[in-house]
Amino acid sequence: MRDGGSGGAQDDPAAPLDESDQTRSGPAAPEEDDSQDIDGEAEGSAAAATQDGGGSTAPPVEAPRPSEFQVFYPDVHIDIDYESEEARASVSGSLAPHHRQVYIVEASAGQEFRAELEAPSGVWLDVRKGDQVLLSDIERPRLVEGPLPADGAWRVSVVSTSSETAHYTLAVEMMPPRPVVYLTFDDGPHPTHTPEVLDLLGRYDARATFFVLGRLAERYPELVQRIDDEGHTLANHTWNHENLDGMSRSAFDDTISRTQEVLGDRAAPCLRPPYGALDRNTRGWAAGHGLDVIMWDVSGADWLDITATEIAGRVLNRVADGSIVLLHDGGGNRSRTVRALEMILEGLSERRMRSEPVCLPTSEVP
């Protein structure tokens, strides 16, 4: 992440921004007018498969487990060579009666997975990470496939309930990890545009971080709840869009603390300074509240008088794996942003890029 420049509110949204002033000034939003264009930050820099295929990813459920007397061999790690054309690995082995062999596969959430077992009757597959299980429509499958629902080390177990020694071959295939993009939305929640943004994110199975103003989070608690319920995260954008550059310590503590109090346990430990404006104290003072300062490296510049197509083009022409994208769901009329967002999400989908929150609540950090 790198700090970008930023822009202040403009009386004329079509007027060009003076980038030399963007990180140093900009009026705070009027307390009562939610429609004013307040931000203007400038651009800175399944469950699984059946034996015959099909299925969908299941939530954590109980799957068949081996009997208590089953013996485990030491775990074996499987490395997938994504540079190869097939992106697969194959291993063979033998299991004594009532034994299991666990293979560890590192994967990312949403990564397509397929494990196929060639083995005699009584030998089957179990694929899980903690309580999360990739299930099959049959009880003891030899084919398990589908998108993995979580990051981390997945345990692919070859399980024998046979009374005889069994020879097997296990083939594991995975698509390369999907590049990740971090979509972020500032200045909300807004009673019209935030629901429109959430609808689009849901349609494309995308997750984002919403940097909200405390006064608006207090005014629209149902939108804060919906953001949280739909798997997105909430973070601090000050109480009333104050410029943090040159702010006193007492004023800083007040605007940050009031916003954190409204967000409560849903707050992710992140702060985005309005206008992208910060001084030598900002990061240290934020850390005192347990917050990291989060900027951006790709911006739609959606506070300018440009079309939805231009907003989308600014994002899609510059986005890369790991990019943090700045957009807005509040602070003015964001109808063009909403139209641009659909183009952006469609473009990311075509590139197999996934959108995840840049900030996670402490309880969700692995």
Catalytic residues: 186, 328
β-pairing verdict for 292-293 and 143-147: unpaired
Burial of 26 (0-12, 13-18, 19+ CB in 10 A): buried
Helix, strand, coil in percent for the chain, rounding step 5: 25, 25, 50
Query: 37: closest CA among 231, 270, 241?
Result: 241
Tokens 């004594």 belong to which residue?
96
Query: 70: closest CA among 97, 93, 92, 94?
Result: 97
Cβ partners under 8 Å of residue 360, min gap 6: 233, 268
Evaluate whether 213 touches 259 at the Cβ level (below 8 Å). yes
Evaluate whether 181 touches 319 at the Cβ level (below 8 Å). yes
Question: Token digits for 288?
Answer: 């005192």
Residue 207's alpha-carbon distances to 35, 78, 186, in angstroms, are 25, 30, 15
Count the alpha carbons within 13 Å of 58 in the hemisphere toward its beta carbon: 22
* Helices (runs of H) and strands (runs of E) counted in the chain: 8, 18
Cβ partners under 8 Å of residue 168, min gap 6: 92, 93, 94, 95, 117, 118, 119, 123, 158
